[in-house]
Structure 1
Amino acid sequence: MHRDGNFRSGSVAIIGAPNVGKSTLLNSLLGRKTAIVSDKPQTTRNKILGVLHRPQAEIVLVDTPGIHHPRFQLNRRIVRVAKHTLDEVDCVLFMIEARTHAGRQDCSIIDLLKERPLPVILLINKVDLVKKTRLLPLIDECRPLFSWTDVIPISAINGENVDRVLDAVADVLPHGQAQHSQSGSIDQSPQFLAAELIREKLLAKTYEELPYSIAVTVEDFIEEDGLITIQAVILVERQNQKAIVIGRKGSMLKAVGSEARQDMEQLFGKKVFLSLLVKVEEAWRSDDNRLLELGY
């Protein structure tokens, strides 16, 4: 543990509207896939912790679901987790998109932040997709919205200004000892990470409402002699959704399994045998007991 009196240690929440790039930033910071990344909103369902060590600071990163207006019981739980996270952290990284500026959802999140006496750093993400001449006017537009500790334009996907973000965070964390022994550690089990990798591939290959009707649970995770054997179940709500997930002659399920297996082998450093089964379970998103069983 670090015992320097000038050392800082604390937790940081990454928040923002759905699909603004929070999970991409977390993965970029840690250099390891810990949160699923998709082009569809609301893909982060669970808090995922990563730890970064700087010369004078330990930064515990918390990824939260995109804050949105909930429709199903599952989504209400996700939003509740995100809001509760704000009560537990020492600093907030609030992300908006450079292309869309601060929208209605962003203003709703700012209202939540105003209720909490926390240092908040504004991150304007995806600056690689806009002309540099638009950045200064956008920063000037955002400054009056809140008492930001700092405003930093970034590109989470290519790492632009990521080190500057870490320096800004380290400057505002409370003084304290390091609580974790190594960077990159996360609080999720291998079973959870395997399920998330499968769900990521499903999200990338399905359309419209289907991604939010999907859950993945790992039934078996057996590790022995350099091989991990995983049996996972993909839950959907209707028979037609099952047909989409399986695909013509099983093509979709085969592609999902192949891509997820490759990512798992890279993540776990071992060969993986992955078996996928698709089950229909109507209205699972609105069933409190089932949500608890699935870990939500």
Structure 2
Amino acid sequence: MSPPEQPPHRSGFVALVGRPNAGKTTLTNALVGEKVGIVSNRPQTTRHAIRGVVHKPHGQIVLVDTPGLHKPKSLLGRRLNDVVRDTLADVDVIVFCIPADQPVGTGDAFIARQLREVKAPIVVVVTKTDAASKKQVAEQLIAASALVEAAEVVPLSAVGGDQVELLEDLLIGLLPDGPPLYPEEQTTDEDVERQLAELVREAALEKVRQEVPHSLAVSIEEIVRRPDAGRGELVEVHALLHVERNSQKPMLLGKGGQIIKAIGSEARAGMETLLGARVHLELHVTVLGEWQDDPKKLNRLGY
């Protein structure tokens, strides 16, 4: 008796789209099984396309977590929307994230109109079901289904892990046959420098309020690795936090430097986990006037 025929291996690219704060990065991290993108409750947390790789015996999903599509108010906003549109043109499947705890609105309708132009199959995911009642989830499933023509509609909680595996299987089933695109040990193609900068920005987003989050960018100026007195390696990281106006500097520094110290402490812990080494982190706040609308400054910051 011959052994049962194995299903073909599938692989491809899946873009996650949605308005800001729809839960795209939290879902990406849940699918990958580790943190590959920063998370906060602030719009514009994700500012570039982040790839996370999901490895399964029968398939490999390369997730592309995109910035939230929105009505742009700056050159940065227009560039972020361009990142999303460029991504949509070159993927095999699209996951349209709609949060269960917020009514479907004009932002979701705007994204649905953009998706009418794409040829890839669409899976609508109603996210954050843990934050909504059963009635809210049911109403959102109906409203989401009316927005676009979808191959599947899935309610899930990335935080609780509810229905995440079901979504994985659905996505793999929609991908073309093909070999793995990344080696098994690789879960992201983000370079280390950008990951370190994002850890600083994530910590800062948690510590500051008012208008600073939109005006904040982080760059890594230097990474120095040296022996750590018999304890392996010490990594020295020098980072700059860029704001647009002088009035924003005190908001990041805090009274007696308390806020910048707290940012450094939180970011350093994440860096040590990422690098597997002790980290010495130096942070400095600098003013880069109106960088969100200056092409040269945006290029310098990698946007």
The runs of at least 4 aligned residues of structure 1 exceeding 6 Å deviation read: none
Q: Which residue among 240, 244, 248 is the counterpart of 1:241?
A: 248
Match of 1:110 in 2: 112
Seq. identity, %: 39
How far, CA to CA, are the matches of 1:139 and 1:184 in structure 2?
Answer: 34
How far, CA to CA, are the matches of 1:176 and 1:145 in structure 2?
Answer: 31
Structure 2 gaps of 5+ residues are 1-5, 228-232
Partner amino acid, structure 1, of 2:172: A
Q: Do 1:32 and 1:184's aligned partners in 2 also have CA atoms closer than 8 Å?
A: no
Post-superposition Cα deviations, 1:115-164, rounded to whole Å, max 9, x if no partner, equal: 11111111101111122243333323332322211111111122111101
Match of 1:130 in 2: 132
Q: Cα offset for 1:32?
A: 2.1
Going from structure 1 to structure 2, the CA distance change for 1:184 and 1:156 (only over 3 Å counts) comes to farther
Match of 2:34 in 1: 32
How far, CA to CA, are the matches of 1:200 and 1:171 in structure 2?
Answer: 34
Q: Which residue among 264, 272, 297 is the counterpart of 1:290?
A: 297
Q: Which residue among 160, 167, 175 is the counterpart of 1:173?
A: 175
Paired residues in the alignment total 293
Match of 1:232 in 2: 239
3-state DSSP of counterpart to 1:155: coil
Match of 1:202 in 2: 204
Question: Which TM-score applies when normalising by structure 2?
Answer: 0.93
Match of 2:284 in 1: 277
Post-superposition Cα deviations, 1:163-209, rounded to whole Å, max 9, x if no partner, equal: 01101100101111212111552121111111000001111122232
Match of 2:20 in 1: 18
Partner amino acid, structure 1, of 2:181: Q
Partner amino acid, structure 1, of 2:178: G
Higher relative contact order (CA 8 A, sep 6+): 1
3-state DSSP of counterpart to 2:138: helix
Structure 1 gaps of 5+ residues are none
How far, CA to CA, are the matches of 1:209 and 1:50 in structure 2?
Answer: 30
Output aligned runs, 1:25-64, within 5 Å: 25-64=27-66
Question: Which TM-score applies when normalising by structure 1?
Answer: 0.95
3-state DSSP of counterpart to 2:242: strand
How far, CA to CA, are the matches of 2:197 and 2:136 in structure 1?
Answer: 40
Greater mean alpha carbon deviation, residues 63-72 or residues 93-102: 93-102
Q: Do 2:98 and 2:144's aligned partners in 1 also have CA atoms closer than 8 Å?
A: no
